[in-house]
Amino acid sequence: MCGIVGYVGPRPVRDVVIEGLSRLEYRGYDSAGIASVEDGAIHVEKAVGRLSNLVDRLSDEGAFSGHIGIGHTRWATHGRPSDDNAHPHRDCRGRFAIVHNGIVENYLQLREDLLAKGHRFTSETDTEVVAHLMEELDTGDLFTTMMAVARQIRGAYALVAMSAEDPNTLVALRKSSPLVVGLGTGENFVASDIPAILEYTRDVYVLDDGQMAVVTRDGVQCFTLEGQPVAKDVLHVAWDPVAAERGGYDHFMLKEIHEQPKAIRDTLSGRISPDGTRVVLDELGWSTEFIQSIDRIHIVACGTSWHAGLVGKAVMERFAQIPVNVEVASEYRYSHPLQTDHTLVVVITQSGETADTLAALRDSKARGRRVLAITNVIGSSAAREADAVLLTLAGPEIAVASTKAYTTQLVALYLLGLYLAQVRGTVDDQTLQEVLSALVSLPQAAEQVLDAAPRIEQFALDYQDARDCFFIGRGLDYALSLEGALKLKEISYIHAEAYAAGELKHGTLALITEGVPVIALATQTHLYEKTLSNIKEVKARDAFVLGLTFAGDDELQKSVDEVIYLPQTMPVVAPIVTVIPLQLLAYYAAVVRGNDVDKPRNLAKSVTVE
Ligand code: M6R
């Protein structure tokens, strides 16, 4: 959470910083700020709220036209959103400026010490102590000053610091919060995430935990936080800058929903043999012996990625016959999980930077477990720290609400489950081929299901004033119901709950009254009749039921008020297409209610704090 940009080079700093922050606003949008060094002084402008508020304040064309600067977009942790709490923060003399992503855990103690030494604070943030520490520990050289600061602060941080005394240098530090350095010609960049600098360069250094960089126009030098030089490999990012644009869509979320057929295709590409008979996951580098030895799998993730894990469990248990636990990362890390010596830990994270998921990854590695990361971001912490990586090829996902990342996570999990089954000999050739062929047909099915958008939009319009909404289903449809409910809550702010359809009558049925919308998923053929009975139970209480089933099913329409038909596919892979109408429903519900679809209140895309 929080987005950071730094720039040093010939362009006006305002252009690069504001443009970069606009690409990072998904990381937080409680306030925004910019600082630059001009004429030997540090200038700062900040504004509570969206980046556009800051832009409005920069009405003077000439402001921030210098050539070195930093910027920040905030997701508030310590101190409510306000101008004062917005970054950048300065020391008492205004000679240093700092932007920060993370939490300085010992800030209270540091603050007390600094107050006792006469420092005056202007914000409630943990970050401001860093600026005052810089003043206190100033060595006359920004690099060594920041090393001294790093020795004093505990917690998680990505920091970029600037000094009025050295208008050519930025110093960036990383500990547990992401930071990349973009490499240009005669200019260099720092950012929390690659999309912020994609327009200028695709070559980056990804700082590792415990590293810092000294960034000038002419070069970048990397060190440990203790000052030892480190050699970095350049990561060339394949993402096309256009992929991070809205491309004519009203919102990133809608664009990303529509990108799913391609994202599914890309994630499958090269991972199924040309004759469609085998899964090819040599990229994992696993031996047959290792795969045979796995005796349980722990899938660990948060939010939508956790929901993907629930589908993954069903697939792996069914095909690879390995017991799977799916755990919420924030719980897992403190739960003394029962791992055997042969437990495989699979972390799922779109961003590769979610703090709790990374903690689970690190704890598991420390216990000697093998960890596989399913992630969308090459160069992310999860990708770099896991023993093996299965990349989802969704391209940059900008909207806070996850869509194409989810469907590609499902694709990766299907491939993984089938691969394990193939190597362990727990799936017969015919079944394997059938499922692989069903997977290959999914991009086309996803195209078709997008055609249902106008009907879903109408439903969202009709139910725009709904206070509650329920999602029900059995088996894989239940896992999807959880995702449908999360999506609706997250962006439309309608209260939504998901229930295993058979569970409603154990309490929640009391909430079903006349006209309450219920989204009933009925794609799992072997559970169809049972689900139908549960649908009748809610219909008998006068709920308004929108059903989802496959084309060709004439039965469901007799029991519900409206039906969305999905293209025929094998039920076991159906989640990849069934989720699309649910995403569209959340999207249109948010649009008709006038919400900021891509930046829902209180949230940020990349949750880099616990
Ligand atoms: O980057 P991650 O996949 O680790 O993020 C996990 C969750 O924060 C994320 O999926 C969140 O639930 C989405 N915003 C939901 O749409």
Indicate the helix (H) or strand (E) that contains 160: strand 155-163
Is 520 part of any domain?
A: yes
Phi first, then psi, for residue 472 (nearest 5°) are -130, 150
**Which pLDDT score is estimated for 239?**
76
Same domain, 278 and 374: yes
Same domain, 390 and 480: no
- Residue 29: pLDDT band (50, 70, 90) is confident
How far is CA 503 from each of CA 33, 478, 483, 510, 538, rounded to the nearest angstrom? Answer: 49, 11, 17, 12, 12
Across all residues in the chain, what is the average pLDDT?
94
Same domain, 108 and 237: yes
Query: CA–CA separation, 397 vs 304, rounded Å?
Result: 13
Ranges of beta strands (E only) in 319-425 are 324-328, 343-349, 370-375, 388-391
Say yes or no to pLDDT of 59 above 80: no
Is 560 part of any domain?
A: yes
Find out whether 398 and 22 touch, Cβ atoms under 8 Å.
no
**Which pLDDT score is estimated for 28?**
82
Query: CA–CA separation, 429 vs 423, rounded Å?
Result: 12
Same domain, 461 and 560: yes
Once rounded to an integer, what is the mean pLDDT over residues 465-473? 94
Same domain, 411 and 508: no
**Which pLDDT score is estimated for 570?**
96
Is 70 part of any domain?
A: yes
**Which pLDDT score is estimated for 606?**
77
Tell me if 22 CB under 6 Å of ligand 1: no
Same domain, 290 and 353: yes
Say yes or no to pLDDT of 382 above 70: yes
Once rounded to an integer, what is the mean pLDDT over residues 11-40? 92
Tell me if 330 CB under 6 Å of ligand 1: no
Containing domain of residue 525, as a range? 450-592
Tell me if 519 CB under 6 Å of ligand 1: no
Residue that terminates a domain, selected from 409, 440, 471: 440
Tell me if 402 CB under 6 Å of ligand 1: yes
Percent of the chain with pLDDT over 90: 86
Pairing of strands 296-301, 324-328: parallel
- Residue of 326 and 337 predicted with greater confidence: 326
CA nearest 197: which of 382, 9, 58? 9
Find out whether 205 and 212 touch, Cβ atoms under 8 Å.
no
Tell me if 354 CB under 6 Å of ligand 1: yes
Find out whether 205 and 232 touch, Cβ atoms under 8 Å.
yes
Number of structural domains in the chain: 3
Ligand 1 atom, smallest distance to 402 CA: 16
Is 436 part of any domain?
A: yes
Phi first, then psi, for residue 476 (nearest 5°) are -60, -30
Say yes or no to pLDDT of 610 above 80: no
What are the tokens at 435?
């499922």
What are 494-514's pLDDT values in tens digits? 999 999 999 988 988 889 999
Instruction: Tell me which residue has its CA closest to atom 8 in ligand 1.
Output: 303
Same domain, 239 and 257: no
Same domain, 540 and 566: yes
Say yes or no to pLDDT of 491 above 90: yes
CA nearest 521: which of 590, 487, 470? 470
Is 600 part of any domain?
A: no
Contact partners, residue 223, CB within 8 Å, separation at least 6: 143, 211, 212, 213, 214, 229, 230
Query: CA–CA separation, 307 vs 326, rounded Å?
Result: 9
What are 78-126's pLDDT values in tens digits? 899 999 999 999 999 999 999 999 999 999 999 999 999 999 999 999 9
Residues serving a catalytic function are 2, 605
- Residue of 6 and 178 predicted with greater confidence: 6
Find out whether 481 and 521 touch, Cβ atoms under 8 Å.
yes
Say yes or no to pLDDT of 247 above 90: no
What are the tokens at 585?
């429903």
* For ligand 1, mutation pick of 26, 27, 304, 375 (most atoms within 8 Å of CB): 304
Q: What is the pTM of this model?
A: 0.84
What are 270-294's pLDDT values in tens digits? 999 999 999 999 999 999 999 999 9
Is the omega angle on the peptide bond into residue 88 within 30 degrees of 0, that is, cis? Answer: yes
Same domain, 389 and 287: yes
Q: In what order do the strands lie in the sheet with 89-90?
A: 89-90, 96-104, 155-163, 166-175, 211-215, 220-224, 229-230
Same domain, 259 and 114: no
Residue that terminates a domain, selected from 211, 244, 277: 244
Instruction: Report the separation in Å between the CA atom of 139 and the middle of ligand 1, taken as the mean of its atom positions.
Output: 41
Is 604 part of any domain?
A: no
Say yes or no to pLDDT of 60 above 80: no
The string of DSSP codes covering 71-111 is: EEEE--SSS-S-TTTSSPEE-TTS-EEEEEEEEETTHHHHH
* For ligand 1, mutation pick of 357, 390, 402, 597 (most atoms within 8 Å of CB): 402
Tell me if 305 CB under 6 Å of ligand 1: yes
Same domain, 134 and 171: yes
What are the tokens at 203?
């070559």
- Domain with residue 199: its CATH number is 3.60.20.10
Find out whether 31 and 83 touch, Cβ atoms under 8 Å.
yes
Once rounded to an integer, what is the mean pLDDT over residues 177-199? 94
Alpha carbon 414 to its chain's center: 20
**Which pLDDT score is estimated for 242?**
67
Once rounded to an integer, what is the mean pLDDT over residues 444-468? 93
Is 459 part of any domain?
A: yes
Contact partners, residue 604, CB within 8 Å, separation at least 6: 1, 2, 26, 27, 28, 29, 75, 400
Residue that terminates a domain, selected from 382, 413, 440: 440
Find out whether 89 and 97 touch, Cβ atoms under 8 Å.
yes
Same domain, 535 and 584: yes
The one-character DSSP state at 320 is: I
- Domain with residue 344: its CATH number is 3.40.50.10490
Q: In what order do the strands lie in the sheet with 562-566?
A: 495-500, 468-473, 517-521, 544-550, 562-566
Indicate the helix (H) or strand (E) that contains 420: helix 404-424
What are 331-375's pLDDT values in tens digits? 998 888 899 999 999 999 999 999 999 999 999 999 999 999 999
Rg (CA), the chain: 25
Once rounded to an integer, what is the mean pLDDT over residues 227-247? 85
Query: CA–CA separation, 42 vs 52, rounded Å?
Result: 22
Is 493 part of any domain?
A: yes
